[in-house]
Copies of this chain bind each other. A is one copy, B any other.
Amino acid sequence: MKLREQKMIKETLEFLQPTPKYRELCILKELENNPKYSQKKIAEKVGLAPSMVNTYIKNISKRGFLKCTGENHKNMQYILTEKGQAWKIELLMKFLNETILLYKAGKNEFKQKLMIFINEGMKKVVLYGASDTCELVMNALGNLGIKILALVDSDPKIHGKVINGFVVKPPCAIEELKPDFVIITSLGCGEEIYSDISGLEKIGIRVRKL
């Protein structure tokens, strides 16, 4: 299996913003994976201005983490030194730790929303919308002792896909599963999905958006 290109966070974040340490890690990762990239290409990849990337690279080199080989612009390569590789691993491990912290905080936010439904009597639930949001909600529900009956999604392309041990089913499966609640695990299309399935309320299945 080929390692496909993995994006770090380039989108503009409104609530949590990347620090210089984060930028440094992104640049180190690019340098390690693509030694032939120009500074311009790296800037594009990490979402920074080329002048900024130049400042970072100078600083990284000064600390003995990077050496530059090749006589001219065309065959130039950036190579992480042994010290640079160790530093990258150290930063990455710290970042993974922080990722877990943020994951926990995110899960807690979802738990708080889910507690409202639990207080309404939710016990057996179908999740509508097989996405990353859905994974987080599944993990949060698991900790709260709620039975997940199934995942459904309107997109036929993902029917049959397995997420956390659940086969994604089409929405027409909901009635037969007899859940007491359906939670719409889509933050973007919640309204549309709600108007599609709110009719379930008539047969006693409560439909809730996150």
Q: Does A110 contact B (CB under 8 A)?
A: yes
Q: How far is the CB of A8 from chain B (nearest CB, A)?
A: 6
Q: Which of A42-98 contact B (CB under 8 A)?
A: 92-98
Residues of A within 8 A of B (CB): 1, 3, 6-9, 11, 13-19, 21-22, 25, 92-113, 115, 118-119, 131-133, 135-136, 138-139, 142, 144, 162-165, 187-188, 210
Bound Cα distance from A113 to B119, whole angstroms: 39
- Do B22 and A16 have beta carbons less than 8 Å apart? yes
Q: How many copies does the complex hold?
A: 2
Residues of B within 8 Å of A115, CB to CB, are 1, 3
- Do A7 and B99 have beta carbons less than 8 Å apart? no
- Do B103 and A8 have beta carbons less than 8 Å apart? no
Residues of B within 8 Å of A136, CB to CB, are 99-100, 103
- Do A16 and B112 have beta carbons less than 8 Å apart? no
Residues of B within 8 Å of A111, CB to CB, are 6
Q: How far is the CB of A142 from chain B (nearest CB, A)?
A: 6
- Do B14 and A16 have beta carbons less than 8 Å apart? no
Q: How far is the CB of A11 from chain B (nearest CB, A)?
A: 6
Q: How far is the CB of A89 from chain B (nearest CB, A)?
A: 11
Q: Which residue of B lies closest to A10 (CB)?
A: B105
Q: B16, B92, B131: which contacts A18 (Cβ < 8 A)? A: B16
- Do A15 and B22 have beta carbons less than 8 Å apart? yes
